[in-house]
């Protein structure tokens, strides 16, 4: 399946892997890129030298295009952008902020820029600023959430801009790919599905928590403006309790400190933040990135053929 994004980015399949902080290391990104998708390193709050090491890891494992997701609430955002530009990373995705001030440097260094957006207003502003494409992320996604669903957000952004739109949030199989293309997207971003993947370096406990998740387990909690979707556990219950008691923003923020690292690295899935999208309930098996991608594309093609037979 070829869409305009395959040629723009130089990938076999129109699938971006979500740039998940702590989870999306060089190993995962390289496996996805090797398999024909776009693997993406999640820079999260990591310092620039750590991000450079992950970039070097990907470059040593594959010559295919890959990306780095830059998290705009990181204290190291300027240094990370500098490294990404120096390393001429083929694709830069951004989250939780506006990358406008960094666009000239990134463009000078040949980086394609695809910001993640959750609103039509920001999508239009970023198109005017000259980004190459957008990732429209619906509230079904894991981690930081916006308000609109993928079903409602994607077509509105597609109608509002003239640059390629990638759909994200709630996509883990070929049905989701076909649905995203029906909404006018030219590709998909898939996060949670790639956590339950052989090459993902996160703790086995995190992967197992995803396999066990049921349809209402991926809940939204956390401080106002910083709410994230994660699997229900002791931490999310504590957040809910603090919210009921009108706890201060600072108290809520404190509870979240280091929580993602605890779940991903230490396997503490009770007190850590097990960020995952609503699709967690649809994931039942850990497999190689290549199988995930090939099965997803095969199923999407079958769905599209079935739809064509309805004429
Ligand atoms: O960023 C995400 N997802 C995330 S961030 C996160 S939390 C984290 N914790 C520890 C280390 C690193 C990260 C977990 N998941 N998604 C992309 C996204 N960005 N969705 C919505 C936005 C967004 C929101 C506001 C983009 C821009 C924006 O404001 C822009 C402006 O106008 O300033």
* Tens-digit pLDDT profile for residues 29-69: 999 999 999 999 999 999 999 999 999 999 999 999 999 99
- Alpha-carbon distances of 46 from 69, 162, 226, 267, rounded to whole Å: 11, 33, 18, 19
pLDDT band at 280 (very low <50, low <70, confident <90, very high): very high
Ligand 1 atom with minimal separation from the 142 CA: 15
Mean pLDDT (the chain) is: 97
**String of DSSP letters for 184-202:** T-SEEEE-GGGTSBTT--S
Residue 311: pLDDT over 90: no
Binding-site residues, ligand 1, Cβ < 6 A: 21, 44-45, 71, 95-98, 116-118, 122, 137, 143-144, 146, 228, 260, 275
Question: If you take atom 1 of ligand 1, which residue's CA is the nearest one?
Answer: 95
pLDDT in tens, 185-208: 999 999 999 999 999 999 999 999
**Probe ligand 1: pick from 144, 225, 261, max atoms within 8 Å of CB?**
144
Instruction: Give the domains, in start order, of the chain with CATH numbers.
Output: 4-201+285-308 (3.20.20.70), 204-279 (no CATH)
| d(C-alpha 18, C-alpha 301), whole Å | 22
Residue 286: pLDDT over 90: yes
- DSSP E strand boundaries for 83-145: 91-95, 112-117, 134-137, 143-144
Task: Tell me how crowded residue 224 is: count the other CB atoms within 10 A of its CB.
Answer: 8
What would the mean pLDDT of 245-273 be, rounded to a whole number? 95
Could you give the percent of the chain with pLDDT greater than 70? 100
Q: What is the pTM of this model?
A: 0.97
Phi, psi of 12 (to 5 degrees): -75, -40
């Amino acid at each position: 399946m070829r869409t305009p994004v395959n040629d723009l980015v130089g990938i076999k399949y129109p699938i971006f892997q979500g740039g998940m902080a702590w989870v999306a290391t060089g190993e995962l990104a390289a496996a996805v890129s090797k398999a024909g998708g776009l693997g993406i390193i999640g820079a999260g709050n990591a310092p620039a030298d750590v991000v450079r090491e992950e970039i070097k890891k990907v470059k040593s494992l594959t010559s295919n295009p890959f990306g780095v997701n830059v998290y705009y609430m990181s204290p190291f955002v300027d240094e990370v952008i500098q490294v990404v530009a120096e390393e001429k990373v083929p694709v830069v995705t951004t989250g939780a902020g506006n990358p406008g001030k960094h666009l000239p440097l990134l463009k000078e260094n040949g980086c394609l820029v695809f910001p993640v957006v959750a609103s039509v207003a920001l999508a239009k502003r970023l198109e005017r600023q000259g980004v190459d494409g957008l990732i429209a992320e619906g509230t079904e996604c894991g981690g930081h959430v916006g308000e609109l669903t993928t079903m409602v957000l994607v077509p509105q952004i597609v109608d509002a801009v003239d640059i390629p739109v990638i759909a994200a949030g709630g996509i883990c199989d070929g049905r989701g790919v076909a649905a995203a293309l029906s909404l006018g997207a030219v590709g998909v971003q898939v996060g949670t599905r790639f956590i339950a993947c052989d090459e993902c370096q996160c703790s086995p406990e995190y992967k197992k928590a995803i396999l066990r998740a049921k349809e209402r387990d991926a809940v939204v909690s956390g401080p106002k403006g910083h709410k994230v979707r994660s699997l229900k556990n002791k931490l999310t219950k504590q957040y809910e309790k603090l919210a009921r008691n009108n706890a201060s923003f600072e108290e809520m923020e404190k509870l979240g400190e280091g929580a993602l690292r605890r779940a991903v690295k230490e396997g503490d899935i009770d007190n850590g933040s097990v960020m995952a999208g609503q699709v967690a309930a649809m994931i039942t098996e850990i497999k190689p990135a290549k199988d995930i991608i090939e099965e997803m594309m095969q199923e999407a093609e079958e769905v599209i053929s079935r739809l064509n037979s309805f004429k």
